[in-house]
Amino acid sequence: MGMNETPSSERIHIGIFGRRNAGKSSVINAVTGQSLAIVSDIKGTTTDPVLKAMELLPLGPVVMVDTPGLDDEGELGKKRIEKSYQVLNKTDIAVLVIDAKSCLDAGAEENLSSVEKPLIECFVDKKIPYVIAVNKSEDLTEKEKEQILALFTGEKNLLFVSAEKKEHIYELKEKIASLAETEEMTLKIVGDLLETGDIAVLVVPIDSAAPKGRLILPQQQVIRDCLEAGAIPVVTRETELKEALLALGKKPKLVITDSQAFERVAKDTPEDVYLTSFSILFSRYKGDLKQQVEGAKAIRTLKDQDTVLISEGCTHHRQCGDIGTEKLPNWIRKFTGKELQFEFTSGTEFPRDLSKYALIIHCGGCTLNEREMKHRLKCAKEQDVPMTNYGVAIADMHGILNRSLEVFA
């Protein structure tokens, strides 16, 4: 990601779904006005989900996701279909592309029941707003259009388009834009906790695990959010926090720390100054802070040989002293005094079956979009597995969880 680019996690994810050769890639190219996807008459040209970040007016920054055909065949085809369905977990708006001619064939209704109708049920179940784009419709008669509409009784968001002829593509773009959830676009990481002129001190450790020459994504995003609120962000290391607070000449409204420095920062931050962490802010921003605070209670009930899953949304290079694979397990072992088993996942990998885990501890999820993060929380809740996050767990084990939540009261 370039310094001037909107992070993928903050972009609206638009998933394009449909059968092989329905024209999914052609629709993407027509909507974006670019040759983003390979177009071919050969079935199965798109073999894996393809993500492309771009600007799409009138929406703004988006991620277009082209998916494999949902009617793929064979063992490899089943895996491709599974990958397509996994894309639903991060999809904010879905576009179902259907070949118009397939809706006019004999047995069309039964055919739709095998792929398209179950997919629409998934959209509804996951509360994903969607539009149906009936592609290759340039030569349809009015009678044929009525015949197709009869197959989708009650569907309000159905458009007849032609990617090849660029017909009704503008209307499709406008419909996609209208489905965007404006409420999510107004959510703040920290800006709603600050007023103009407030000082927010950000504590950023610079150790062997810190990337060279830059701040990590959540730190960048919090600074930006502070600036948008008219607040004054001040950045310091935990080793200079005391001096920084003395030098300010004005009491800060809030101290935000990297979770791994919680213990020291809590000691050095005056009791009358709010304190929290980047990870806890992101739990509130794109997760479920209440669920993750509740999940932290499970740390106290862990037993010998219990398995704990530690999951990260990104795939950064692991180094000595890594918070996820080294520091957290050590803190948990010390806090519980138990012999525990730990498993680790990163990136897009997150187990479907969570039943083997006594607890899940997730990072703040800065690289995941809100829908993906909430999907993971939902999976844990449905399987009755407690789930917390780095900041909440670390604050709890250091006895400062209540203090770290006071700013949200």
pLDDT tens digits, one per residue of 246-301: 999 899 999 999 999 999 999 999 999 999 999 999 999 999 999 999 999 999 99
* Helix and strand counts by DSSP (H, E) for the chain: 16, 14
Q: What's the pTM value of the predicted model, to 2 decimals?
A: 0.81
Position 58 scores a pLDDT of 76
Angle value at C-alpha 165, between 21 and 58, nearest 5 degrees? 95
Q: Which two tokens stand for residue 159?
A: 């458009």
pLDDT score at 313: 87
* Residue corresponding to tokens 């009491």: 251
pLDDT recorded at residue 210 = 61
The three-state secondary structure class of 134 is strand
Q: Give the number of other CB atoms < 10 A from CB of residue 386.
A: 20
Average pLDDT value for the chain:
90
**pLDDT confidence of residue 40:** 47
Residue 23 binned pLDDT confidence (cut-offs 50, 70, 90): very high
Better-predicted residue by pLDDT, 6 or 101: 101
Give 367's contacts (C-beta < 8 A, 6+ positions apart): 7, 8, 9, 217, 313, 314
User: Above 80 in pLDDT, residue 181?
Assistant: no
Which residue has better confidence, 333 or 83?
333
262 to 124, 268, 377: CA distances (angstroms): 41, 10, 24
pLDDT at 64 over 50: yes
**Quick one: DSSP state of residue 20?**
T
68-77, 181-190, 201-210, 275-284 — which one is most confidently predicted on average? Answer: 275-284
Q: How far apart are CA 361 and CA 388, in angstroms?
A: 5
* Weakest-pLDDT range from 105-114, 132-141, 189-198: 105-114
Once rounded to an integer, what is the mean pLDDT over residues 205-224?
82
Domains and CATH numbers, the chain: 8-185 (3.40.50.300), 191-281+402-408 (3.40.50.11420), 290-401 (3.40.50.11410)
Residue 403 confidence (pLDDT): 97
Q: Which of 172-181, 320-329, 385-394 has the lowest mean pLDDT?
A: 320-329
Cα diameter, the chain? 79
pLDDT at position 216: 85
